[in-house]
Every structure is written in structure tokens, then in C-alpha cells.
Amino acid sequence: MSEIKTELTKEQFEIVGKNIEKMESISRPSLTFWQEAWRRIRSNRAAFFSLILLIIYVLLAIFAPMLSKYGFDQQDAYAMKQGLSLEHWLGTDSLGRDLWVRVWMGARVSLTIGLLAAVINSVIGTILGGFCGYYGGKLDMVVMRIIDVIYGIPSLIVCILVMVVLGSGVQSLIIAMVLVGWTGTCRFTRGEVYRLKEQEFVLAAQVMGEPVFTIILREIIPNIMGLLITNLTMAIPGAIFQEAFLSYIGLGISPPQASWGVLAKEGTKMLQVAPHILYVPAFFICTTVLALNQLGNGLRDAFDPRLRGTE
Amino acid sequence: MKHKRFMALGLATLLSLSVVGCSTPNTTVEDSGSTSASTSGSTAQTVSGEKIFRYSNKADIATIDPNKINCVPDATIGYHVYDGLYRSVQGNLQPAVAESHTVSEDGLVYTFTLRQDAKWSDGEPVTAQDFEYGMKRLCDPAAACSMSYLGVVFKNGAAVTAGEVPVDELGVKAIDDYTLEITLEHPADYFLSMLSMSQFMPVRQDIVEQFGGEFGGGADKQVYNGPFVVTQFGEGRLVMEKNPNYYDADSIKLDGVEVLTVADGTTAVSMFNAGDLDLAEVPSDLAPQYEGQTLSYYDGSNDYAALNHNNEYLANKNFRLALNYAINREEYNLLSHNGLYAENLRYVLPQVRGVEGEYGTEYPLEFFPLQGDMDKAQEYLTVAMEELGVSDPSEISLKLVVSDSDASKKEAEVVVNQWKNNLGIDVQINMVPYATRNAMLVPNSTEFDIIMTGWVPDYSDPYSYLELWYSTSSYNYLNYKSEAYDSYLDASKTTTGKERMDNLFNAEKVLLEDGALVPLQLREVQYMVSDRVENLGAYFIGLNYDYMYTDIVA
Amino acid sequence: MTKYILKRVGISLITIFVLVTVVFFLARLMPGGPFNDPKLSETARENLSAYYGFDKPIFEQYITYLKNILSFDFGFSTKYPSRTVNDLLAGSFPYSVDLGVRALCFAISFGLVFGIISALNRGNKIDLIFVIIAVIGTSVPDFIMGAILQYFFAIEWGLLPIAEYKGFAYTILPSVGLGFYTMASVSRIMRASMLEVVQQDYIKTARSKGISRFRVTWKHQIRNAIMPVITILGPTVAAVLTGTFVIESLFAIPGMGKYYVESVQNNDYSLILGMTVFYGTFLVLCNMIVDILYGIVDPRIRIAGK
């Protein structure tokens, strides 16, 4: 302390001139939207762990069936409903099939359907909902009535018809789900946009003459990204559940293929006999959704423009 | 347990050529939808009285309009709330509203004398006119009864149903209030046993006219003349109470019956265990847990994988035989039904009536080995591949259609897996809704190569199973064409007794030698009955449970 | 305002008309037809078609159907030949409503409370507990939830009745099973929305004016945060009230969900259409109410409307 000079002298300063660039520069490294999000995700331990878990699940879904000595449809009349063991890591189902392999084969189906259906729904729904909410008026009215009609059509009819036309399979399921599913996100986004469009920053953008598309995409959507992401993380399990429900009433994918929903459904029949047949797929459904939720929460914070640069 | 089962079967088969009941595949060939699972028991709060028998069905009772009943669970209700000319009680034909009858020498004209103390639940007497009206209504095209084909037994029956001849010309006539004359189209020994079916019950014209299309759509939209009356119908339950007007009311021990709709088989079993039901059918997944506590009966259906002979591969007899020999039916049964169904090594249900006793006893046959024969299957496959010009079995690709019930899905998975392992052929499963699958069961369908299905007989006779595959039959969705088969069936129509049965047996053998289809199993329904229930019967044709004289003790 | 409502009603009617038309023709496209029992004779099938009027040209059927709808006549079911669609709906709707309302009450009250508490305690243990409840709720499909609830509470521990629907105790498991997912969704959306709102300027303004924390939360934060929840409520209400198939079949409840699935599986044309009109009207009504609720709850819209 004592060494600090208390008096300032002219010699200590020099004239550097005016440097506009430096005056405007930001001392923190400049990050793009996604870089920033990634940085924040990494610092959120739960979200980061969830991301790792999901990646592990995806890798297992890809490789586990290849590496196992059992085929996913390989039956064994003398190894039915066995519990967890070294021979069958997750036990066997009612046809003596190895559940470890079946779970990961099921993961392929469920994750594909969940991800694709949810993402396609969200993209269509967000764009359409954005325009509806922003413009309002006739466009909004017409789209909302179309949504009412789609809601009213028994989705089973749509599913059965798609299955009949395209045959049962993953693609048909996704198409059927998208046909009836985009409406939810659309309504939701529309409500949010409707709420936001009166706010000052939108007004400012309008005054500055930004085109409508840019306003929606650059100003409004990022502001509701948090809710959209939360919505999306719910939409993925939603799609997984819907597939499971369709399987429950017999409209899912054809055997011997199985999804997690199909496995869980088979499990409910076995609850009193061999509960692990239910618990195993239920565990993976649960943890996947949990991970998606945590990731969603992390992303929600990460994408929030108002939280950028804080901390 | 086993004894009871065989007793029930034996009694059932006593019904010679009984065209009892309106078994539709809709309700019995599939485990989905409307199969009746029954459970019974416990005191019900909703019915007064003490002796209440409670059981459940998987689907709601569709109707109690006797003419329009078209499935076994509904027919079971009809059996208990209506009283026809004759009634089969525990398998024996007993006079009911008819006291006696005479048959003309040519076997065509039956004249029934009716008892005069039979009453409807509203106090009106049961008259010959009620029977005449009911039977005419069954055949009347305007009434559109789905089981109207049963009426072809009457003179002009087919023509009336088709609308070619006025209803008045049907061979059913009330001579006076208590005398009914029925003229048949052709002599039929089994005609009397048909009279116990719900579709041949008396119907009150004034009640039908009062309620129109809603007749039989509610407890108060119909009157009853059987041992029970319906007091509540709808909202997932059907409640019956003892009918005090029934002439034999003294023999009826139950005060009431409650039939619940419990769609989930596991729930029904749990309710049985908790004492909420007196009878429960046990899904095969759960059956091992209840080993020793269950009874069982054949419900008549013989399930098979039907092969479409229009397919280029399936047209080949050796290939079809390879498919047949490659199935290890014992393992199949173990995997898909915990070994609880009976493996079917032939085509016809052995328990149907033969010449004098059971067909299966008189004409034993184990055509396909229980565990299959992989060597034979390979031999047939090799020959077939040569004939078809196929070098590798994996080149053969077939589409198997299965409906969406859990049980049939499992069956399909097992069968396809065995073909893949034992023959190396690739069969793709296509799962479709039940109605879609049914729509494919027509001749010359191009929608399937193989289809999982089965048949429930209308009467206890091998012919009921065999007539499907007559080359011009409208049911022949196999597109099976065999001169030998047709000629044996033709011969059976002009012969009687043992000679006729020989012809039917020969036809069955031809069918199996051609490997026309892949027989798999005979359904054996497992059910539990509470200890306090006495004198309950189960049958494989026409109705499932007979609780008319059931008593509840303790 | 009256004009606005009248206009909404008019549009809703058109919506229902379009819906009926679409479903009428879609149903006829379904494979199989209503009389698909393989045992039916060809004659019987023709007679049945004539009885229900399905033998007429499809456009004529359509016109007849529209006329009948105006007098609320939905015709006879083909699966239940003696029963009208009205009769079937009248019998089952009360059960569905009862179950649905119970489930919704459970879902919304618990969902909102959990969401609010969770948001106010963001990051601490209480938040974690409610987040876990919400995660379990949204990660377990209803048929697993129903089966497990039934297995443990009714079968294994014998605390509650197994099935049927005839008293309060009987309604607990099905209501919870049916409402759990919605409860969890509401709670999650509410939490997210609360956190969103808390950063808005008007909250800061309110706080800086010295309004108590409770008052800010109650009058400003919750009120604004509830909007997204209301948005999802319309479809959710309809889904809960009709999408009860799984719970109904598990707990043997004679509600509408069964007919909804069964009618499609059986190609029961009259019942499909009856269900559609009923459900569609219901849904359109729900959406209308949501729109009106929006006006009541959103302070900005309310002020603008004055």
C-alpha cells in the first residue's frame, strides 16, 4: 500500500488520440448466438449431463444391437420371462427375446419418431403460428379454424388411413403424427407472438423497416425460444407416447419391430407375472424424457436473449 | 378340473348337429374386441336380493333384440332371458314353450303344440303368433338381421331374405294361439336344436312396433319370457333379475345376474380375486399363476395361417408342405400361449360330433408332427425351390397379415420366426386393424399372401369347417381348388351316417395333404369360478356360460 | 363485444360443418366397411346396407345426414344395432364428464400450485422435488401410469377399489391416472412462464414502487404467467374429456373414450360421425371460451377492449 503513489503527475499519462474502434469494442470475446448457447449449456451441469446421456443412448441404439450375440427377434421357448442376469442383461420378454437388444432396437424407433415428429411439428407450427399471431386478421382466423377442424377429426381415422395408404411403419407413423400434430405448436406460438408483437422492441424493429419475416425470425422467435424449447422437449415424449398409444390400440409398427411404447405396453400385461418387462422400457422412457427436460431447461436459459452476457 | 372340462364338452357335443348360437368370428376368433371374458361373483350393490351371479364381458352387450343378436356373449344373455320352443339345458334338448311336436313323414312339416301357461314379463301369454312373427322378422329383409342366413332352413327362407318372395310366404304359420306349424326347405335333423338359438325366439309384434328401431336397445324396450328379465342395460352393465312370471321359476335359484363390461383381462382377474366377480377368464399371460385353479373349455375356434394360393410361391404344394412341417407346434403353443391352448395337428376340431361320438375319437389323425419335422420341411423346400426356379430361400418374400390383437400379434411373431429359422425364408408381418383384416377375407384377395385367422363352427359337425374351402364357396379366401376335395364334399351331401362322415374325413385329409393352410391351435379358454357358485356350464357352440340353474351357496 | 361473439359463433358453426363434411367422406374411405364380419352372408350384408341407407349414392347419403343433424338425429349405430348414437352418447358422456372434470380439477389446481411454488423457489430443493414430480408425470405414458397405480394401490395394497365407477373411492385412481400428465405439463409450463415473466420490466416497476413481494407475485407475475397455460388448456380439456380410452378400459368405466376408439375400429359410420360432431362442437366451444378467457385475464387486452 505504501508504494502506491498518491499523487498523479502528468508524466504518468500520454495522449493516445481518439480511437473509435476501441471505444466501441467489448472486452469479452464476441460470441455468436450458438456459441453463447453452447458455452452456457456446458456450464449447466444437469443439462450437460443430460446431453451426454442422450448421446450415450443414441450410440447404444446404433451399436448395441450390432454387438449383442442375440438377434432382436430371436425367440427362446426355454428362456421366457427371465429376470436380469449375466446371460440376458435386462432379462427376456414373454417370447424369450433378449430385452437388452430389444430395448435398443426400440430406441431406434422411438427416438426417430419422437425427434422427427416433434421437430417437423415444431418447425411447421412455429412458422405458421408466428405469421398468424403477427398478422392476425383473416389469415389467423382461417388457420385457427383449420386447426379446429383438424382437432375435431378423430386422429385414429387419419392414422388408419395413412397406414392403409402407405403401409404400417415408422414413416407412416411420423406422417400421421405430423398431419394432426403441428396444430399444437401453432396455437401455442400464435398465442405467444400475439402477446409479444405489441412490445417496444418489435415496434422498434418495425420503425427501422425490418421485413416481417425478419421481425418474426430475429426478434420475436428468439424471445419465445425458451418456451418453444420447453414445448419441444415435451413434444418429443409426446410423440413417443402417441406412438405407444397407437400401439396400445393396435395401430403401431408391425411386429417383430418394437418401440419403447410397444415394449412397455407388453410389459403392462406382465406386471403381475414378470414386472421387469414393464420396468425396463419404462426406465428408458423415463430417463430419456428426464434428460430431454433438463436439456430443455438448459437450452431455455441458453437461448434467452435477455440472459445473454449476464452471469 | 380336466374332468369338468370334458364333461362340459361331452354335454355340448350331445347336441347333435346343433346349430346353436350365433358365433361370429368377430367375437370369438379374435382376442380383441368383443370376446367374452366372464367373471362373476360377490355381492352386488346394484341388484336387490342375495344370490347375484356376477361376471364380465370384454365388450358391451350390443343388443338384446333376439333376432339381431350376433355374437356369443349376447347370445348367452338371450339364452337366459328368452324361452324358445325348445331349450338345450346342459346339452340336452328339453321342451320349453313347446310341449310336444309332430313331424310329417317327409320330415318337412313340424307342428308344435305350445304350453298355455307361458307368459311374457308384462303378463301377456306367449302365443304361436309371437313365434311366427319372430321367425318372419329374422328373415325379413326390411328388418336386416345379420344372422338371417339361419332362416334358410325354413321353406322360402333364402328367397324371403333376398327379397324375392314376400315375407308372408315363409314356411312359418300359427294355426291357432297355441299351435305352430313350420315347414322346412329340406329335411334337417338338426332343426330342433336350432330352436334353442336366440334368433328363433318369440317376438312381440306390438312391442317391436312401439319401439321401432330401438326395440331391444334398453331394458324397458323389450319384454321377456325366459327365466330372467333384463332390468338394466347400458352404461357398461347389464343386470338381470329372476322372472317371477316364468313357468318354471321354482327351479331358478339365482335372484339376479350382473354382467359387467371389463375390457382389460387383467383387471377382470383382479376383480375376481377381490371377490367383485364370480367368474373370470384368465388371459394366457396370467394363466401359469393360476395353475390348478382354472377350468377350461374349447370355444370352437381352430386358428390357422391361411395361405393365398394365388401367390406364385404358395401355389406350390411342396412349398406349402414345407411351411407346415417347419412349424414346431409345441414350441409355438408354449411361446404364444404358455402352452395352454391345444396344438392343432389336423384341421377340424376333434371335439365336434362324428357319427355317434366325437369326430376326433372316431377319426383320429395326427397329420403334422407335434414338433414339426425339419428334415421333411427341408426336403419339401428343396423340391419346391427347384420347381420354382429359386436358388436361395431368402429370395422368397411373403407378406403375412395379422390383426391388431395382442394374442394374434404374438402368434404371428412366433410363426414367422420359426419359418425364418427353419426354412430361411423371409416373411414380413403387416399388422392391420381388425375390420381391415376381415375385409381381406374374400376370394381372390390380393392384399395378403398369408393371413392369420380361424373359424368358429355354427353347428357341431366337421362340415361346418370343411365347407369353407369348396372351390366355389364364397368363403374360399385360400383360393383353394381341388377336384378331389370338392368331390368328397359333394358325396357327403348325398350320403348319411358313417359313409357321410368318411367322405368328410377324406376331404379333411386331402386338405392337409395339399398343405392348403397351416393349422396351428385350438383355443381353450381358461376361466376361474368362485367356490360359492354351483352348477355352471360352459359350451363351445352357441353360448359360453350357462347359469340358468346356477346356485350360489354359502 | 356482442358482435364479436356472434361472429365467433357463426364461424364456429361453419367450422363444425366443414368438420362433419371432412369426416363423413374420410370415414367412407376406411377399408372394410361397417359390416365386415366374415360370417355374414352376402344377402344379409345387402339388407343391412339398405337398412342403414348405405346403399344409396354417397352424395344423397350426405345430404340426408346433414338434414338429420339439424334435428339432432345421428341415426343408429351399426355395432349396437338397437341403439341410437344419441342413446350411446347420453349414456356414456356423464361418466366421461365426471371423470374428466375430476381429472382436470386435480391437474390444474395441483399443476398451477406446483408450478408457482417451483418457480418461486427456483434452484433449491423444493424446486427440485416439484420438477421431479413434473418429470415423472410427463415421462410416464398414461397406460403405464394407470397400470402401476392400479397394481399398487388397488391390487397389491388393497387401499382403493380395483375397477368400476360407483362412488368417490372408485374415482380417485382413474382421475389421478388421467390427470397426472396434464398436471405435470401445467406445472412445467407454469414454472417456465413464471420465470419468463419475472424478468419483465413491469415486474421491476412494480417492485420498485414498493409493492409487497406477495402482491407482485399474485397480481402481476401469476396473472401474466398464466397465459401460456390457458393457451394449452382448450385442447387439453377436450383431450382429457374424450381421450380416456386407456383409463376407461383399465378401470372398467363406461365412458365415451371407448366409443371413440371402437367406432373407428368397427367402421361404425353413424357413431364416428356422432362422436365427431359432439367432440368437434365441444372443442370449438372450448376454444371460444379460451379466446374469451384470454380477454379477461390479459390486462393489456382488457384495457384495450374498454
Chunked mean pLDDT (size 10), chain B, 554 residues: 39 33 32 34 47 92 91 91 86 85 90 93 94 95 89 90 92 94 82 85 94 90 94 90 92 93 90 92 86 87 93 93 94 88 92 83 93 92 92 90 87 92 90 85 90 85 88 89 93 83 94 94 92 86 85 84
Query: How many angstroms away from the CA of C276 is the closest CA of chain B?
Result: 20
Instruction: Work out the pLDDT band at A26, boundaries 50, 70, 90.
Output: low
Name every chain A residue with its beta carbon within 8 A of the beta carbon of B334. Answer: 77, 80
> Measured between CB atoms, does B372 come within 8 Å of chain A?
no
Q: Which of C218, C269, C306, C272 is nearest to C52 (CA)?
A: C269
Contacts of C250 in chain B (CB under 8 A): 264, 267
Q: Is B144 helix (H, G, I), strand (E, B) or coil?
A: coil
What integer pLDDT is reported at residue B44 of this predicted model?
Answer: 39
pLDDT of residue B30: 35
pLDDT for A276 beyond 80: yes
Question: Comparing A156 with B546, which gets the higher pLDDT?
Answer: B546
Instruction: State whether B410 and A94 contact (CB < 8 Å).
Output: yes
| Contact between chains at A254 and B429 (C-beta distance less than 8 A) | yes
Domains and CATH numbers, chain B: 2-55+250-298+526-552 (no CATH), 61-229 (3.90.76.10), 301-523 (3.10.105.10)
**Average of pLDDT values for C73-85?**
90
Chain B: give the shortest CA distance to residue C40, in Å.
6
Asked if B262 is an interface residue toward chain C (Cβ–Cβ < 8 A), one would say yes
Quote the CA–CA distance of B285 and B280 in Å, as a whole number. 14
B397-403 and B179-183 as β-strands: parallel, antiparallel, unpaired?
Answer: unpaired
Nearest residue, CB atoms, B430 vs list A77, A168, A271: A168
- Interface with chain B: mutation pick from C42, C47, C267, highest number of B CBs within 10 Å: C47
Q: Output the nine-digit C-alpha cell for B259.
A: 354382467
Pairing of strands B228-234, B237-242: antiparallel
Burial of B493 (0-12, 13-18, 19+ CB in 10 A): exposed
**Could you tell me which residues of chain A have a Cβ less than 8 Å from any Cβ in chain B?**
73-75, 77, 80, 94-96, 160, 163-164, 167-168, 249-256, 266, 268-273
Residue of C35, C36, C39, C77 to mutate, testing the B interface (most B Cβ within 10 Å of its Cβ): C39
pLDDT of residue A96: 84
Nearest CA in chain A to C288: A148
Chains that touch A (3 or more CB pairs under 8 A): B, C
User: B112, B85 in Cβ contact below 8 A?
Assistant: yes
Q: Which three cell numbers stand for residue A122?
A: 415444431
Name the DSSP class of B262.
Answer: -
CA distance B416 to chain A (A): 9
Which is higher by pLDDT, B305 or A10?
B305
B212 touches chain C (CB under 8 A): no
Contact B235 C95 (CB under 8 A): yes
Q: Is some CB atom of chain B closer than 8 A to the CB atom of C40?
A: yes
B283: which DSSP letter? P
Please choose, from the candidates B103, B288, B213, B530, the residue with its C-alpha nearest in 3D space to the C-alpha of residue C51: B213
Chain B's closest residue to C158, CA to CA, is: B274
Residue in chain B closest to C268 (alpha carbons) equals B435
At residue B141, the pLDDT reads 93
Mean pLDDT of C260-272: 86
Chain A: residue whose CA lies nearest to C188: A230
Q: Give chain A positions within 8 Å (CB) of C241.
A: none
Q: Test A145 with C14 for CB contact under 8 angstroms.
A: yes
Provide the pLDDT for residue B553.
87
| C262: closest chain A residue by CA | A249
Chain B nearest C-alpha distance from C133 (Å): 27
Kindly determine whether residue A271 and residue C147, on different chains, have CB atoms separated by under 8 Å: yes
| Least confidently predicted of A137-151, B6-20, C7-21 | B6-20
Interface test with C, best of B57, B60, B453 (most C CBs within 10 A): B60
CB contact under 8 A, A226 and C138: no
d(CA C250, CA C177): 10
ipTM of the complex: 0.82
CA atoms of C235 and C225, how far apart (whole Å)? 19
A305: nearest Cα among A27, A122, A32, A119: A32
pLDDT at C296 over 70: no
Q: How far apart are CA C113 and CA C115, in angstroms?
A: 5
B399 near A CB under 8 A: no
A113 chain-C contacts, CB cut-off 8 A: none
Integer Cα distance of A231 and A221 in angstroms: 13
Query: Best residue in C36, C138, C232 to probe A by mutation, most A CBs within 10 Å?
Result: C138
Closest to C230 (Cα-Cα) out of C280, C177, C191, C287:
C287
Point out the least confidently predicted range of A57-71, B279-293, B382-396, C236-250. C236-250
A153·C23 Cβ contact <8 A: yes
* CA distance to partner chain A, nearest, from residue C220 (Å): 15
CA–CA distance, A62 with A47 (Å, rounded to integer): 23
Q: Under a CB-based contact definition with an 8 Å cutoff, are residues C196 and C157 in contact?
A: no
User: Given this model, what pLDDT does residue C31 score?
Assistant: 79
DSSP secondary structure code for residue B186 in this structure: S
Query: Using the beta-carbon criterion (under 8 Å), do A157 and C30 form an inter-chain contact?
Result: yes
According to the model, what pLDDT value does residue B68 have?
92
Q: Which of A62-71, B461-470, B499-508, C193-202 has the highest mean pLDDT?
A: B499-508
Facing residue for A269 by CB, picked from B32, B406, B434: B406
Secondary structure (DSSP) of B160-184: HHTTSS-GGGSSEEEEETTEEEEEB
Q: pLDDT class for A6, splitting at 50, 70, 90?
A: low
The mean per-residue pLDDT over the stretch A59-65 comes to 90
Q: Would you call A255 and B406 a contact, using CB atoms and an 8 Å cutoff?
A: no
User: Which residues in chain B are contacts of A95 at CB distance < 8 A?
Assistant: 335-336, 410, 413-414
Q: How far apart are CA B392 and CA B413, in angstroms?
A: 22
Of C251, C248, C243, C234, residue with least CA distance to C275: C243
* CB atoms C91 and B234 under 8 Å: yes
Reading the block at residue B143, the C-alpha cell is: 328388418
> What mean pLDDT, rounded, does chain C reach?
83
Confidence (pLDDT) at A25: 65
CA distance B268 to B37: 8
Average pLDDT of the segment spanning C103-107 = 90
Q: Which of C82, C108, C229, C113 is nearest to B144 (CA)?
A: C82
The arithmetic mean of pLDDT across residues C50-62, rounded, is 91
Residue B334 touches chain A, beta carbons under 8 Å: yes
Q: Which of A102, A249, A269, A271 to mutate to test the interface with B (most CBs of B within 10 A)?
A: A269
Cα distance between residue B308 and residue B476, in whole Å: 10
pLDDT of B36 reads 35
Task: Report the pLDDT averaged over residues C160-189.
Answer: 88
Assess whether pLDDT exceeds 70 at residue A58: yes
Largest CA distance in chain C: 83
The rounded percent of chain C whose pLDDT value lies above 70 is 92
CA distance B492 to chain C (A): 22
Per-residue pLDDT reduced to its tens digit, C19-34: 889 889 988 888 778 8
